[in-house]
Amino acid sequence: MRTFLSEELKETPEGREADQILRSCVHCGFCNATCPTYLLLGDERDGPRGRIYLIKEMLENDTASRETQLHLDRCLTCRACETTCPSGVAYNRLLEIGRAAVESRVERPLLERVQREAILRTVPEPGRFRLLLSLARLFRPLLSPALKKTIPASLPAGEAWPSARHPRKVLLLEGCVQSVSAPRINLAAARVLDRLGIQALPAAGCCGALSHHLSREEQTLTTVRGNIDRWWPAIESGAEALVLTASGCAPTVIDYGRLLKHDPEYAGKAEQLASMALDISTFLERQDLDLIRPAQNDGPLIAFHSPCTLQHGLKRAGSVEAMLTRLGFKLAMVPDAHLCCGSAGSYSILQKDLSRRLLQQKLKCLENEQPAVIATANIGCLMHLQSGTDRSVKHWIELLA
Ligand code: SF4
Ligand code: SF4
């Protein structure tokens, strides 16, 4: 695609990067076929090719409108388009640049600003999120049935973390929402690792994905620097990896090196940390799984939902399914497994209608064979799926544990 970005813009790192990405798109439109928002709305501007055009126009003419903002907001950042694109267009990175450019050019209405601020001040802060959850429990009878299902009847009691010490150690990211609403997930991971002779050291903190996706770069970088400072002593004392049980965190942590590459104090550490970050499925694949293989596995039928961050962000489609099958679990066939469930970070709050429509579609596919359990690999998807079904929704590591 030919581009006409101003020389001034092309002199900036973002301008150069955007120009390169735009030029790699050949405008074929294959990506539209797997874009959930294009499939739902049928509007070219709600598909990847249209959004690429909107970003191109904005950068070339230095103008943006509420309309541009609306169509970029409606993108789930699911990255299904990247998986489909035959030309390898780095759509997600272009969208990050595009969203930041819109934010600096178009002021949002007051209600949207307040809503985003409220999300950023509560969700990534475990203390505040815990308080919010306690209040929600108090007013449980007044909540919608969907919301009720995502709120545990009582806050999960702290169960014991494995106490055995092993020479092999890894950091295990606790996360923000997950550490409050489903600490059982990391506990399950710690137990599985313990049985493999690996000690899990809890790494407190939010990965920064939420603020990053809402184009709050300064807040994201502050979060990342804080994480590095907190986790560094464990890395110096020999932790061999940073293991992540929420696939939604992994693409952001793996990007730490790029995010801080211009920071002389943190660039090296950020790069090293990023290179040590592994989704738990990747980490377990490299271990001797015979140590945890059940002699006989006659558990119930499981429908696995592969989060977009796992299959499109980390390019690990089918990996968890293959591991569960190898370990003897029975998996249901899930049609349209490449499509997003509509959770997508803060999307389920900010784009409620589209998010619910995607959820209904996804649950229909997941429940196709009447599974007893739905499993997934990301806390956001887990809570979102649970809001629409009475079936139990778990993280797959809980099944292993
Ligand atoms: S992003 Fe890829 S698939 Fe989509 S129009 Fe461009 S080249 Fe084609
Ligand atoms: S990231 Fe997902 S929602 Fe956004 S354009 Fe690509 S396929 Fe569509």
% of the chain exceeding 70 in pLDDT: 98
> Distance from the CA of 246 to the center of ligand 1, in angstroms?
29
pLDDT band at 298 (very low <50, low <70, confident <90, very high): confident
- The upper half-sphere exposure of residue 258, i.e. CA atoms within 13 Å in the direction of its Cβ, equals 11
Least confident of 177-181, 318-322, 393-397: 177-181
Q: Which atom of ligand 1 is nearest to the CA of 49?
A: 5
Nearest ligand 2 atom, CA 76: 3
Cα 15 to middle of ligand 1, angstroms: 20
- Assign 330 a pLDDT band (cuts: 50, 70, 90): very high
The average pLDDT across 232-254 equals 97
Q: Is the pLDDT of residue 156 over 90?
A: no
pLDDT score for 158: 57
Phi, psi of 191 (to 5 degrees): -70, -40
pLDDT class of 142 with cuts at 50, 70, 90? confident
CA of 49, nearest ligand number:
1
Identify the nearest ligand to the CA of 338 by its number.
2
pLDDT tops 60 at residue 248: yes
The model's confidence at residue 30, banded by pLDDT at 50, 70 and 90, is: very high
Please compute the mean of the pLDDT values over residues 215-227 and round it to a whole number: 96
Residues with CB under 6 A from ligand 1: 25-31, 48-49, 85, 87, 89, 91
Pick from 40, 52, 84, 91 the residue to mutate for probing ligand 2's pocket: most ligand atoms within 8 Å of its CB: 91
Model confidence over 267-281: pLDDT tens digits? 999 999 999 999 999
Average pLDDT over residues 72-89: 98
Give the pLDDT confidence of 355-390 residue by residue, as tens digits.
999 999 999 999 999 999 999 999 999 999 999 999
CA distance 277 to 240: 10
Q: Ligand 2 pocket: which residues have CB below 6 Å?
A: 35-37, 48, 51, 75-81, 91
Q: Which residue in 401, 398, 352 sits closest to 178, CA to CA?
A: 398
Residue 299 is predicted with a pLDDT of 83
Ligand 1 atom nearest residue 88's Cα? 2
Judge whether residue 8 has pLDDT over 90. no
Q: How far is the CA of 340 from the centre of ligand 1 (A)?
A: 19
pLDDT of residue 117: 95
Residue 160's nearest CA partner among 128, 126, 183 is 183
Say if residue 155's pLDDT is above 60.
no
pLDDT category of residue 348 using cuts at 50, 70 and 90 = very high
State the Cα angle at 257 between 256 and 259, rounded to 5°. 60
pLDDT at 154 over 90: no
Predicted model pTM? 0.93
Q: Which atom of ligand 2 is nearest to the CA of 74?
A: 3
Residue 346 has a pLDDT of 93
Ligand 1 center from residue 86 Cα (angstroms): 7
Q: What is the mean pLDDT of residues 48-64?
A: 95
Q: What is the pLDDT of residue 145?
A: 80
Ligand sitting nearest the alpha carbon of 96: 2
Q: Nearest CA to 220 among 172, 263, 183? A: 263
Q: Which of 104, 101, 105 is nearest to 56 (CA)?
A: 101
- Locate the ligand 1 atom nearest the alpha carbon of residue 32 and give its number: 4
Average pLDDT score, the chain: 94
Residue from 2, 31, 83 whose mutation best tests the ligand 1 pocket (most atoms within 8 A of CB): 31
Ligand 2 center–CA 73 separation, angstroms: 11
